[in-house]
Chain A
Amino acid sequence: MSPAEEKRDSDWETVIGLEIHAQLATRSKIFSDSSTAYGAPPNTQASLVDLGYPGVLPVLNGAAVRMAVKFGLAIGANIARRSIFARKNYFYPDLPKGYQISQYERPVVEDGALEVLLEDGTRKTVGITRAHLEEDAGKSLHEGLKGYTGIDLNRAGTPLLEIVSEPDMRSAKEAVAYLKKVHTLVRYLEICDGNMQEGSFRCDANVSVRRMGASKFGTRAELKNLNSFRFIEKAINYEVARQIEILEGGGSVVQETRLYDSDRNETRSMRSKEEANDYRYFPDPDLLPLAIDEAFIEGVRQTLPELPDEKAARFAREHGLSEYDAAVLTASRELASYYESVLAALGSEGKSADSKEPMTAQKLAVNWVMGEFSGALNRDGLEIAGSRLKPQQLAGLLRRILDATISGKIAKEVFEAMWGESADADAIIESRGLRQITDTGAIERAIEAVMAANPAQLADYRSGKDKLFGFFVGQVMKAMQGKANPAQLNELLKRKLSS
C-alpha cells in the first residue's frame, strides 16, 4: 500500500451492504410445477404459467417457503406470521408477465444476524435486515441470432431468496467474509447449491464512503454483476477508490447502478436514479397473504442441521482444533463431514507413535483433509462428492502414519498413488515396499556406511560444524529410500556421530 493510499484509508470509511440472491434448491418453480434443473435446451422448462399466458395463475410452492423459514431460523430472525407477495412492475422481454412476483413491505424473514470471523481473528456481527421470496426472470440471449434477441424462459419462475444485509461492513474483505459465511450457511441448510458460475448464488453490493467519524452515510452506488468472491473484492475496492477520488476532487457521488467489468477491473454506470424505474409495487391479488403458524415453524426447526458455528465450536472443544482450523474446516459442510467420516473410520487410536512430533488423530486428520486431500481436489477441479478417495481409505493411510508403518513423507507418496489408482493404502505400501524401517540394526548399518563414505564431513562435524547433521540425515534417508523411521534415525545418528 502506498503512503497516499494509507492516508486515504485513515481519512475515509467505507460502508457496504450486500443484497444476495440465493436460488432455492426446490425441484419445481416457485409458482408453477416446471422443473428448475439447470442447463436444459431453451424454453423446454417453461410452462404456460412461466410464460405468463393469458388466464394462468400462480400457486405458491410450499418447499420454497420451508427453505426461507429454515434460513430465517438459522440467522435468528423473526419469521413473519403473515407476509405479502407483491408485484414489481416493469417491462422486459425476459419478464413474461411484465411484473415480478416478490415481497415488498412484508417479507417472510426479518431482523437476523450472522457472525463472521475475519482474517485477523476478530469477530464481527453483520445484521440481516430481511430475506424475502421472489421469482427469477428468464434470460435474454444476444449471441448468434443475427440482430435478434432470443428469450430463454427456463429460469423464469425459479425461486429466489433475496437476503439483504444492513450496511454493516467496512471493507471489501469484510464483505467477502460475510458473503462466504452466507454461502456456507445456505449450503449447510441445503437450500441453495451455491453455484456462482451458474448464477444460483449472486450478489449486488451497495457501496459508499464517508469521512472518518461522520455520522451520515455517503451517497451509494449499487454494483452488479459480481459473480465470484474475487470479483466482489476487486469491484468494491475499485469503487471505493473511485468514490474517494471524486470526493477528494471536490465532486459528489451520483446514486446509480454500476456494472462491474472483470476484464478491465472497473465499474461502469448502468443507470442513474433519475432513470430508475417506478416499479409500482402493490400486493399481488392472485396470491393470498402467506400465513405461517407456530407448528410450521417448529416443523422446520426440527430439520435444522448442526450449523457451521456450532460445528466449529464443537470441533474446537472436543477435538482440540484451533479456532482457525475449525473455522476453515467447517466452511464447507461436505469437507467437515468428510473429516468426521475419516475420524470415525480411524477410531480412537489416540496419538501418533512419533515421539518427536506427537499428534492427535484429530489434528492429523485435519491436516490431511485440509492439506493433501483439498489440494488434490482443487488440482483436479473436483467436488468432494466426485472424489474417488473414500474417507475410509484416507483413514487407512492415516492409521499407518499413526502406527509408524510409514513416515509422513512416504505417506504423501502413498496418497498420490491412492489418488491415482484409488487403491487402499496398505496395498500400495506393500506392493511398493514402502513400509518404514524401524529395525535399529538396519538403520545403524546404513549410518555406518554413510559415515565411512564421507570421512571429510564427519571430521568437520566432529570439529563443531553442527549444521552438517542435516547432511547425514539426508544421506542415510537416501540410502534407505526414505523408509527409515525419522525419529529413530535422528536418535541413532546423533549417538553414532558423537561417539
Chain B
Amino acid sequence: MHTLTIAELAAGLRARRFSSVELTRKVLERIERFNKGLNAFLTVTADAALEAARRADQELQAGRGGPLTGVPIAHKDIFCTEGVRTSCGSKMLDNFVSPYDATVVANLKKAGTVLVGKTNMDEFAMGSSNETSFYGPVLNPWDPKRVPGGSSGGSAAAVAARLVPAATGTDTGGSIRQPGALTGIVGLKPSYGRVSRYGMIAFASSLDQAGVLTLTAEDAAYLLRAIAGFDPRDSTSVDVPVPDYVAALDAPLKGLRIGLLKEFFDAGLDRQCGERVRAALDVFKSLGAELSEVSLPALPLSVPTYYVVAPAECSSNLSRFDGVRFGHRCENPRDLLDLYMRTRGEGFGAEVKRRIMTGTYVLSAGYYDAYYLKAQKVRQLISDDFRRAFEQVDVLMGPTTPTPAFEIGAKTDDPITMYLNDIYTIGANLAGLPAVSVPCGFVDGLPVGLQIIGPVFSEAKLLNAAHGYQQETSWHRKIPEAYA
C-alpha cells in the first residue's frame, strides 16, 4: 500500500480495497518506524489525521469526494496550519502554533486529503541541503550520509522513503526541484502567481512559489489541480483559469519542440549526470519530439542575481520576527534594543543571519543602485532570454542539479559552493516560470533529475511531457532498499 501513487491510492479507496483509516494507520506506522533515521517529520498529527481519515471514509462510502479524498499528505513546515505548530525549521518559531490555515493547506483540506504531519526544512527555506534546520539535517533515503537537498528536504525524503505518497514544498531558487532530483522523485514548481502564497511564510516574496513533491507527474497534476488558482488574499496570485492538468497528461509528445539548454551542459555538470540527462532526451526523441540546442546568454548570471534579490527581500520579510507578538523572545530583556538583538541573535541560525545581513547591505543607502537595482535589471535580461527561447521551442530541458546528492557537511563551510548547487534551478524562479524535475536515472546508486522548464502557465504541457517520459521509464518505481 505504501508504494502506491496517489492515482493508485484513489482507485484503491474508491474500490474499497482499503479504507483511508487503514491507509493513514499504515502511513503513521511507517513514520513512527522510519522517521528517527530520516528526521523528515518535525510534527506528526496522528489523532487529527485519523479523524480526517474517518471523515474521508464517510464521504467515500456515501459516494462523494474526489480523487484526493482520504489520501494522506504532509506539508512542509513553512505552510501555516491552524492549531498545529508551524516552525519554518527555526528556533524563532519553535513555539509558534498558527491560528490559521494557508490557502494551500485549506485547498487540500477541502479536496479531502488527510494531513499526517509537517516536514523538516532548511531554516526559513534558506538552504540547499536541509542542514540549516534548527531541528538538524534530514538524511537522504538513498544514502544516510548524504543530504536530501533543500530546502524542502523533509518533504522529499518522506516521499522518496514512501512514508507518505506526496508532500507540499516551496521553491524560491530550486527548493522543490533540487531535493526532488536528489531523492529520485518528481518536484513541481508552478509559475509565479499560479498558487497562492497566503499562509506560506515568506522568504523572498517575488520568487517564492508553492508546489508539490510526488512519485509521478500524474500525482503532481492531481495536487496542482487542487491548489492552483486565484486567491483574493494574495495580490500576486493571477486570475487565469486553471486547466485540467490530469486530462492533459496523455497528449502525444510527437512534434514537441524541446530546447536543450546549452548553458546547463557546462563544465560544472558531473559527466555521468550529463549522460543520464542526454539519455532521457533520447527517450523524448523516440516519442517524436524535436530536439534543438538553445542558448540563454544571461542565464549564468542567475546565481549572483538571486543572491542579491532573495536576501534583500528576506531581510525585510524576517523583520517581523522581533519577539514582540509571537515566536521566540529572549529572557529578561533590559530594554528594547536588547530585546531585538538577543531575540533575533538567539532565534535565527547562521545562514539566515548571513542572508539578512547581505540583504540589509544591498538595500542600504549608497549600495541600492549598485546591487538591488542592477540585479533587477539582470533579472529582466534573464526573463527576456527565456521569452526569446520560447519563441522557438515549447519547453527547455536540462539537468536539475550539477551533481547527485553530496555528503552531509561537505559544503557547509563554503556558502558559495553551496549556492552554486542551485545554478540550474534559479533561472526559472527569477523569470517566474514553471519547472519540474523528473527522475531520470542513477549515478553510483544516487538519483539524477531531468529538469523541464516551460513558458508561464504551461504546467499542463510540462506535466504532459514528464508523464509521457514516465510512461516509458521506471526510475520513479525504484525504492531505496531500506524503505522498500
Contacts and interface: CB of A to CB of B under 8 A. Distances in A.
A410 to B, nearest CB: 64
A55 B322 contact: no
Contact of A57 (B96, B197, B322): B197
| Interface-central residue, B197, B200, B319, B368, by most chain A CB under 10 Å | B319
B236 A288 contact: yes
Interface string A267-278: 000000000001
A151 interface: yes
Q: Which DSSP category, helix, strand, loop or mixed, fits chain A's interface? A: loop
Given A93-B322, A282-B372, A286-B205, A54 B80 contact: yes
B98 A285 contact: no
A53 interface: yes
Contacts of A54: 80, 86, 88, 93, 96, 98, 201-202, 320-321, 326-327
A96 B320 contact: yes
A389 interface: no
Given A53-B326, A54-B88, A287 B336 contact: no
A217 B37 CA distance: 70
Contact of A51 (B204, B316, B325, B360): B325
A91 interface: yes
B312 interface: yes
A99 interface: yes
A282 B363 contact: yes
A99 B324 CA distance: 14
Contacts of A98: 316, 318-320, 322
A57 B235 contact: yes
A374 B426 CA distance: 68
| Interface-central residue, B235, B315, B372, by most chain A CB under 10 Å | B235
A57 B198 contact: yes
A91 B316 contact: no
A278 B326 contact: no
Contacts of A58: 235
Contacts of A56: 198-199
B483 interface: no
A55 B86 CA distance: 10
Given A52-B325, A59-B235, A97 B320 contact: yes
A286 B313 CA distance: 10
A59 B139 CA distance: 39
Nearest to A85: B235
Interface in A29-60: 48, 51-60
B199 A151 contact: no
Given A282-B372, A286-B235, A287-B235, A55 B201 contact: yes
A281 B363 CA distance: 7
B365 interface: yes
A280 interface: yes
Contacts of B235: 57-60, 286-288
Contact of A286 (B99, B236, B325, B372): B236
Query: In the complex, which range does the number of interface residues on chain A fall in?
Result: 20 to 34
B232 interface: yes
Given A55-B198, A57-B198, A278-B365, 18 more contacts: A53-B325, A53-B326, A54-B80, A54-B86, A54-B93, A54-B327, A55-B200, A55-B202, A87-B316, A91-B322, A91-B340, A96-B324, A98-B318, A280-B316, A282-B363, A285-B206, A286-B205, A288-B235
A318 B93 CA distance: 69
Contacts of B232: 59
Contacts of B313: 285
Contacts of B88: 54
B205 A285 contact: yes
Nearest to B344: A91
B99 A53 contact: yes
A53 B80 CA distance: 10
Interface of A: 48, 51-60, 87, 89, 91, 93, 96-99, 149, 151, 278, 280-282, 285-288
Contacts of B234: 57, 59
Interface of B: 79-80, 86, 88, 93, 96, 98-100, 102, 197-202, 204-206, 232-236, 312-313, 315-316, 318-322, 324-327, 336, 340, 360, 363-365, 368, 372
10 contacts: A53-B320, A53-B326, A54-B93, A54-B201, A55-B200, A60-B235, A89-B363, A96-B324, A151-B324, A285-B204
Nearest to B204: A285
Contact of A91 (B93, B99, B319, B363): B319
Contacts of A149: 336
B312 A282 contact: yes
Contacts of B205: 285-286
A203 B319 CA distance: 28
A59 B103 CA distance: 15
B230 to A, nearest CB: 12
Contacts of A288: 235-236
A58 B202 CA distance: 13
B319 A89 contact: yes
A93 B199 CA distance: 22
A57 B202 CA distance: 9
Contact of A282 (B319, B321, B368): B368
A58 B320 CA distance: 14
Contacts of A285: 204-206, 236, 313
B102 A55 contact: yes
Nearest to A277: B365
Contacts of B322: 91, 93, 98
Contacts of B336: 93, 149
A97 B364 contact: no
Nearest to B324: A93
A66 B368 CA distance: 32
A56 B86 CA distance: 14
Contacts of A282: 312, 316, 363, 368, 372
B305 to A, nearest CB: 15
Contacts of B233: 57, 59
Nearest to A89: B316
A290 to B, nearest CB: 10
Nearest to B312: A282
A57 B315 CA distance: 16
A340 to B, nearest CB: 43
A56 B315 CA distance: 17
Contacts of B99: 48, 53
B82 to A, nearest CB: 11
